[in-house]
Amino acid sequence: MTELLLTLTATGVVLALTSGLLGVFVVWQKQAYFGATLAHTALLGVALGLLLQLDWQWMVILVALATGWGVHWLLGHTRLAADTLLGILAHTTLAVALVLLSHAPVTFSLDSFLFGDILAVTRADLWTALGLLALTGLFVARNWRALLNLTLNEELAFAEGVPTRRVRLMLILLLALVIALSIKLVGVLLITSLLILPPAAARHFSRTPEQMLAGSMAIATASVVGGLALSWQLDWPAGPAIVVTATGFFLLALPFRR
Amino acid sequence: MLRHVSFKLHKGEILTLIGPNGAGKSTLLKLALGLLRPTGGTLWRKPDMVIGYMPQKLEVDASLPMTARRFIELGLRPDLPPDPFWLDQTGVSQWLDRPLQGLSGGQLQRTLLCRALLRQPDLLVLDEPLQGVDVQGQAFLYRLLAEARERIGCAILMVSHDLHLVMAQTDQVLCLNGHVCCSGTPESVQAHPAYRELFGLDEDTFAIYRHHHDPTRCDHDGGHHD
């Protein structure tokens, strides 16, 4: 039991650090709805994985990547605003997923995908999450200035020599990966909050982008640890407990407005 | 959208693009910056050229904590501290430690220009630098550009709506309306019939922007004056 608890907590902390790292860009670039759309499409990945009897986590990643590319393509080929397109994609994929899941060959609980199922976390998940954290950390460290310039103004960044397409694509890829791996922890419906609540809370006591990044990672970690503790002590469902804890930090940070 | 456009811009030269809305000024600017690729024709840019770019607007979300100083440093090589000369000339030294989101439109424009100048660019590209700038500000900008050309020796490419003040500091004017209507020195362009027709100068003094010039009926194909 203790080993399971350790694996669980460690995986949670590693995913918290990763989403804390990526979350600041989601907030700065006003991409919260994009993150939510990727999370919704994850359920289509789950459905395809179950139907085709493939590993659903990889299907989730594939579908999320296709969505990221699809949004980009649709933006260039329709007259619709980004939030309209994201809304269409999010709910279409969700609906298709639910239709497909009604024909899934195996019985499973939809709740566990929507709200998380931490008891399903395995040792392999811990290693994958660690790999993703290393990849994300390396990417952000090496491209920090490029990422900030991209966030400030994409055309200015490009004119000054930043490989904006490559950096943006990598950011979408990492977002897709962290969403796919966080499903067991908080579930499809709550993932976006793990991406945006910690940086939003950190904003209130940060004067530089670096402080906000560090604050975001710290608050995300505290939210996961605190949420798991609450879940353990009070028998709350783990995913919602994590999000409630993160919201608590956000409210606590409100008076420190800088 | 743009056809029959040809020009050369050398170091130390200032080229101004003028023309009505929708004439392709921004498209040409994006081609020069490499943001767009030409669908036909050739575009030669000096390899490894350092570009300083001043976009029309900068919209930074309030959630990003960033001072003017940090913003400027992000455009420079990390080992190079910003040259105080340009910080003072542009006036940016007065608000270096204020957050970007708290700056006025004019201060933000000067901050953008300062970042572009501090990069010691080979090519300085300015998109509508006079937008919303008062007369004193315009005179100030022209002095600054003259100084930039002298100290940095860069080529300057800019888009402007303004007809008269443009002429003060420019070597070459390109009057666009989907193609080059006319080009040359400011004086020769001002005297060119295509320019006068495009801006309705001979009909009545106030009708500066009458877009009655139809490019498909236009028979003057990039008339050039020296």
pLDDT in tens, B18-31: 887 777 888 888 88
Give how far the C-alpha of residue B6 lies from the chain's centroid of Cα atoms, to the nearest Å.
Answer: 17
> What does the alpha-carbon distance between residue B181 and residue B25 come to, in Å, rounded to a whole number?
12
Considering only residues B218 and B189, tell me which one the structure prediction assigns the higher pLDDT: B189
Would the pLDDT of B97 be above 70? yes
Over residues B150-169, the mean pLDDT reads 80
What is the reported pLDDT for B81?
Answer: 83
Q: Is A208 touching B (CB cutoff 8 A)?
A: yes
CB contact under 8 A, A160 and B34: no
pLDDT in tens, A57-115: 889 888 988 888 888 788 778 888 888 989 999 999 999 999 998 887 777 788 888 88
Would the pLDDT of A132 be above 90? yes
pLDDT in tens, A18-40: 999 999 999 999 989 988 998 88
> What does the alpha-carbon distance between residue A12 and residue A118 come to, in Å, rounded to a whole number?
9
Ordered strands of the B14-18 beta sheet: B51-54, B123-127, B155-159, B14-18, B172-176, B180-184, B223-224
Token pair for B103: 């700056």
Q: Quick count: other Cβ atoms within 10 Å of Cβ A30? A: 12
Domains of chain A: total? 1
CB contact under 8 A, B35 and A203: no
What is the reported pLDDT for A1?
Answer: 64
What is the reported pLDDT for A154?
Answer: 92
Q: CA of A30 to nearest chain B CA: how many angstroms apart?
A: 8
Q: To probe the interface with B, which of A27, A144, A153, A196 has the most B CB atoms within 10 Å?
A: A153
What is the reported pLDDT for B222?
Answer: 47
| pTM, to two decimals | 0.88
Would the pLDDT of B225 be above 70? no
Would the pLDDT of A243 be above 90? yes
Q: Where are the domains of chain B?
A: 14-199
What is the reported pLDDT for B163?
Answer: 66
pLDDT in tens, B109-125: 999 999 999 999 999 99
Over residues B149-166, the mean pLDDT reads 82
Considering only residues A242 and A188, tell me which one the structure prediction assigns the higher pLDDT: A242
Task: Tell me the CATH number at A190.
Answer: 1.10.3470.10
Considering Cα of B35, then B71, then A178, then A97, what sign does the dihedral take?
Answer: negative
> What does the alpha-carbon distance between residue A52 and residue A35 come to, in Å, rounded to a whole number?
26
Would the pLDDT of B14 be above 60? yes
Domain ranges, residue A23: 2-256
A28, A155, A258: residue with CB nearest B64: A28
Side chain identity at A85, as an amino acid letter?
L
CB contact under 8 A, A207 and B71: no
What is the reported pLDDT for B156?
Answer: 92
Q: Is A207 touching B (CB cutoff 8 A)?
A: yes
Would the pLDDT of B7 be above 90? no
A18 Cβ contact list (under 8 Å, min separation 6):
A129, A132, A133, A136, A174, A178
Over residues A38-65, the mean pLDDT reads 88
B58, B64, B119: residue with CB nearest A209: B64
What is the reported pLDDT for B226?
Answer: 43
Give the number of A-B residue pairs with CB atoms closer than 8 Å: 61
H, E, C per residue of B25-76: HHHHHHHHHCCCCCCCCCCCCCCCCCEEEECCCCCCCCCCCCEHHHHHHCCC
Q: CATH for B14-199, among 3.40.50.1370, 3.40.1080.10, 3.40.462.20, 3.40.50.300?
A: 3.40.50.300
Name every chain A residue with its beta carbon within 8 A of the beta carbon of B36.
none
Name every chain A residue with its beta carbon within 8 A of the beta carbon of B75.
149, 160
Quote the mean pLDDT of chain B: 81
pLDDT in tens, B49-76: 899 999 988 999 999 999 999 999 999 9
Q: Is A134 touching B (CB cutoff 8 A)?
A: no
> What does the alpha-carbon distance between residue A95 and residue A84 come to, in Å, rounded to a whole number?
16
What is the reported pLDDT for A109?
Answer: 80
B58, B63, B75: residue with CB nearest A27: B63
Q: To probe the interface with A, which of B27, B36, B60, B63 has the most A CB atoms within 10 Å?
A: B63
Would the pLDDT of B158 be above 80? yes
CB contact under 8 A, B78 and A211: no
What is the reported pLDDT for B134?
Answer: 76
Name every chain B residue with its beta carbon within 8 A of the beta carbon of A29.
61
Side chain identity at B181, as an amino acid letter?
C
